[in-house]
Structure 1
Amino acid sequence: MTQPASSPSPEDTPALEPREDADVRDSLYRTLVQEIEDYAIFMLDLDGRVRTWNAGAQKIKGYAAREIIGQHFSRFYPAEALARDWPAYELREALAVGRFEDEGWRVRKDGSLFWANVVITTMRDPDGTPIGFAKLTRDLTLRRQEEERLRQSEERFRLLVESVEDYAIFMLDPDGRVASWNAGAIEIKGYRPEEIIGQHFSVFYRPEDNAAGKPAGELARASRFGRVEDEGWRVRKDGSLFWANVIITAVYDSSGTLRGFAKVTRDLSERKRLEELERSSQHVSEFLATLAHELRNPLAPLRNAVGVMQLEPQLSPTIASCRDMIDRQTIQLSRLVDDLLDMGRITTGKIDLRMASVDMAEVVAHSVEAVRPLADQRQQVIDVRLPAEGVVVEGDFVRLVQVLQNLLNNASKFSPTGGRIAIEIVNEARNIVLTVSDQGRGISPGSLDTIFTLFAQEDRLLDPTHNGLGIGLTLSRSLVELHGGMISAQSEGRGMGSVFTVRLPRARRRAVRSTNAAGRPTAAMPANAMRVLVIDDNRDSADSLAMLIGMKGHESRAAYDGASGLTVAREFLPDLVLVDLAMPDMDGFTVLRALRANAAFARTVTAAMTGFGQNQDRERSIGEGFDAHLVKPVEMVLLDALLADAKRRFLAAGTGRPLA
Structure 2
Amino acid sequence: MRANILRSKSNVFLDLFLQRRQITSQRDELEALTTALQVADQQKNRFLAVLAHELRNPLAALTSGLNILERSAEDARANSVRKSMRENLRHMTRLVDDLLDINRIERGKISLRRERVLLSKILPSALDVAGPAIEAGGHQLEVQLPDDPILLDVDPARFIQIIGNIVGNAARYTPQSGHIEVIVILDTDSIRIAVSDDGVGIPFEQQSRIFEMFEQSDAGLGIVGDWLGIGLALVRQLVELHGGQIYLVKSAPGEGSTFEVTLPLGRSGPELSSPQSKV
TM range (shorter): 0.7 to 0.9
Question: Which of residues 438, 454, 457 is equivalent to 2:213?
Answer: 454
- Report the 3-state secondary structure (helix = DSSP H, G, I; strand = E; otherwise coil) of the residue aligned with 1:468: coil
User: In structure 1, what is the equivalent of residue 200 of structure 2?
Assistant: 441
Answering whether residue 244 of structure 2 is matched by residue 498 of structure 1, we say: no
CA distance in 2 between counterparts of 1:279 and 1:386 reads 46
1:451 counterpart SS class = coil
Residue 283 of structure 1 contacts residue 455 of structure 1 at CA under 8 Å; is this kept in 2?
A: no
Q: 1:488 aligns with which of 222, 225, 247?
A: 247
Are 2:104 and 1:349 aligned? no
Query: Is this contact kept in 2: 1:434–1:502, CA < 8 A?
Result: yes
- Distance in 2, matches of 1:401 and 1:461, equals 30
Give secondary structure in 1 for the equivalent of 2:112: coil
Report the Cα offset of residue 491 of structure 1: 2.2
C-alpha separation between the residues in 1 aligned to 2:227 and 2:94? Answer: 11
Higher helix share: 2
Q: 1:427 aligns with which of 186, 198, 211?
A: 186
Cα deviation, 1:592-640, whole Å, max 9, x if unaligned, reads xxxxxxxxxxxxxxxxxxxxxxxxxxxxxxxxxxxxxxxxxxxxxxxxx
Q: CA deviation at 1:283?
A: 6.4
* Higher RCO (C-alpha 8 Å, min separation 6): 2
How far is 1:487 from its partner?
Answer: 0.2
2:177 pairs with 1:412: no
Query: What CA distance in whole angstroms lies between the structure 2 residues aligned with 1:389 and 1:339?
Result: 34
Which residue identity lines up with residue 459 of structure 1 in the other structure? D
CA offset at residue 377 of structure 1? Answer: 3.0
Q: CA deviation at 1:322?
A: 4.8
Q: Is the 8 A contact 1:490 1:499 kept in 2?
A: yes
Q: Which residue is 1:116 aligned to?
A: none
State the match for 1:363 in structure 2: 122
2:131 is the counterpart of 1:372: yes
Tell me the residue number matched to 2:148: 389
User: Offset at 1:289?
Assistant: 3.6
Does the 8 A contact of 1:460 with 1:467 survive in 2? no
Distance 1:455 1:398, change over 3 A: same
1:387 Cα deviation from its structure 2 partner: 0.9
Q: Is residue 202–residue 218 contact of structure 2 (8 Å, CA) maintained in 1?
A: no
Q: Partners in 1 of 2:38 and 2:187 — Cα distance?
A: 34
Per-residue deviation, 1:426: 1.2
How many pairs were matched up? 237
Deviation for aligned residue 1:311: 5.2
Query: Which residue identity does 1:501 align to in structure 2?
Result: E
Does the CA-based 8 Å contact 2:145-2:185 persist in structure 1? Answer: yes
In structure 2, how many angstroms separate the alpha carbons of the residues matched to 1:345 and 1:430?
A: 29
Contact 1:443 1:491 in 2 (8 A): no
Q: Structure 1 residues 503 and 284, CA, compared in 2 at 3 Å: closer, same or farther?
A: same
Give the structure 1 partner of residue 34 of structure 2. none
Q: CA deviation at 1:285?
A: 3.8
Q: Tell me if the contact between 1:453 and 1:474 (Cα under 8 Å) persists in the aligned partners.
A: yes
Q: How does 1:115-514 map to 2 (within 5 A)?
A: 282=41, 285-286=44-45, 289-290=48-49, 293-296=52-55, 300=59, 302-310=61-69, 314-315=73-74, 317=76, 321-322=80-81, 324-459=83-218, 462-463=221-222, 466=225, 468-512=227-271
Note the C-alpha offset of 1:418.
2.3
Check 1:287–1:509 CA distance in 2 against 1; reply closer, same or farther (3 A cut): farther
- Please report how far the alpha carbon of residue 446 of structure 1 lies from its aligned counterpart in structure 2 after TM superposition: 2.1
Cα distance in structure 2, aligned partners of 1:436 and 1:513: 29
SS at match of 1:491: strand
Equivalents in 1 of 2:251, 2:258: separation in Å? 10
1:301 shift after superposition? 5.5
Contact kept in structure 2, 1:387 and 1:426, CA below 8 Å:
yes
Write the distance in 1 (CA, Å) between the matches of 2:89 and 2:46: 20
User: What code does the residue aligned with 1:454 have?
Assistant: M
Q: Rate the CA distance shift 1:312–1:396 in 2: closer, same or farther, 3 A.
A: farther
Closer, same or farther: CA 437–511 of 1 in aligned 2, 3 Å: same
| AA matched with 1:354 | R
2-structure distance, mates of 1:414, 1:334 = 20
Between the aligned partners of 2:97 and 2:118, the Cα distance in structure 1 is 25
CA contact (8 A) 1:444 1:491 kept: no
Letter in 1 for 2:235: S
**What amino acid is the match of 1:496?**
E
Give the superposition deviation at 1:465.
5.6
Please, what TM-score do these two structures have when normalized by structure 1? Answer: 0.33
Paired AA for residue 446 in structure 1: E
Deviations 1:540-597 (A, max 9, x none): xxxxxxxxxxxxxxxxxxxxxxxxxxxxxxxxxxxxxxxxxxxxxxxxxxxxxxxxxx
Flag the 1:289–1:468 CA change in 2: closer, same or farther, 3 A. closer
Q: Distance in 2 between matches of 1:279 and 1:383?
A: 44
Distance 1:492 1:297 in 2: 32
Letter in 1 for 2:177: G
The residue number in structure 2 matching 1:227 is none
CA contact (8 A) 1:280 1:454 kept: no
Unaligned 5+ runs, structure 1 = 1-277, 515-660
Q: What's the CA shift for 1:321?
A: 3.2
Give the match's secondary structure for 1:490: strand
Asked if structure 1 preserves the Cα contact closer than 8 Å seen for 2:54 and 2:227, the reply is: no
